[in-house]
Structure 1
Amino acid sequence: RSLGAVATDHGVPSANAADLPLVEKQALLDRVLANKHDAADAELFRAQMLTEMALLSVEDGMVMQIHAGSRRNTDPQLFAERGTDLGADIPGTTDYVGGLSALLSRCGNEPNLRLIMFVLDETTYARELATMAGYWPALMIGPPWWFHDSPQGIRRYLDQVVETAGFYNLAGFNDDTRALLSIPARHDVWRREVCGFLGRWVGEHRLSRSSAEEIAVHLSYQAAKDAYRIK
């Protein structure tokens, strides 16, 4: 934090969080440290750690990002022969409503918590992310991620989240790609699709031109600064 970090990032297979009583948390930690845990304990530990990270964000103001729903290494043969990150990672279904229930019950109304949700399961856009961000003050919706930060992916995202969540519950466009030379192009695609979406709303008389121009600037630049509390 003292060196300029503004956010933490949590890549998890599911959005499941837990809020165990202190005695149960200690017992779980003891089993993990003693290497006596099973697969269910590992999942519960990961779920509890999401809530612990949220509580730390309440303390220090670091923005918390959750990237949930990637099914990793789905081809065992490829994984055994070549290792990770070679194309066998596939989007899976994600339950943000049930998954984050314990975390939000514990600290979802804390004014210092900012949690940005990213998802690969596009069916959650309107059903879960938009409605949750519209209600919980701690939540914002991250931009389309990985497979979906493309022209059609961005159009589907905006079509599904904006009517319920509005424009100002969106985190704009951040870029965590490792393909550094693609960053300008990715931002250009986002800005073009945002402007195209807003232009269609202006053409349908759902938005004034002046409002569209203001929102275009916001989503192209200011939204990300606001979401990550960058001065």
Structure 2
Amino acid sequence: MSLNGKYALGIFFTFVLLAAVMLYVFPLIYMITGIKTLTPVNFFYTRIALWTVLGLIFLYNLFIEKNNFLIWKEKKYPVLFYIKAIVALYFICAFGGAFINLIVQLLTQEGMSKKLAQISSVFKNNYALIIFICFTAGAVEELLMRGYIQPRIEKIYNNPSVGIIVSAALFGILHSTYGTIGQVLVPFFIGAVFALFYKKYSNIKILILCHFTYDFVSMMIMNFIDIKHLSAF
């Protein structure tokens, strides 16, 4: 099999494994633990499942692709650049996402995701779990969606735009399990912004930190604001 063929298979495995986790990990955890409700412990196990997917793809890369996991060499920047980049990316994603949500609300009268509302009750005032959730999302999703998938799609099609659009689309699709249009369009927008940044600056650490910051701020807002007021906010 050619290297591009191995890349294509790895991308397929990555998406299938992530989709399986998003769709089936909760029923599986309920069956294993015998606890049929969403608890902090059960939710913790679902995040471990995401780290397991990352580990499997690392092994695939190591033994099948036999190439660097990050095929784009990481570029180094001064600390001030990190700070400016994280702040800029955060506000672009925050205001862009808010605008998209506003348009969706106006066009569809869509309510808040029931799954998101259920999850928010689990981590209420559980700051250790919040940090772990945000770190997992930042590290696993960026390493897989931007670090792994995006450059390989670009290599296969020899087209940077395809890598950016497809990786952002897959990122949005994976969030469709939250059950709302906004939870697909906003991640697609954020995925596109992050993919453009990664193509230009080739630094996954900045994206991990920004993703962590974005999720952490969002979850802290959910932690302190009554859930029934969250959609309006």
More helix by share: 2
More strand by share: 1
TM-score by length of 1: 0.26
Higher relative contact order at CA 8 Å, sep ≥6: structure 1 or structure 2? 2
TM-score by length of 2: 0.26
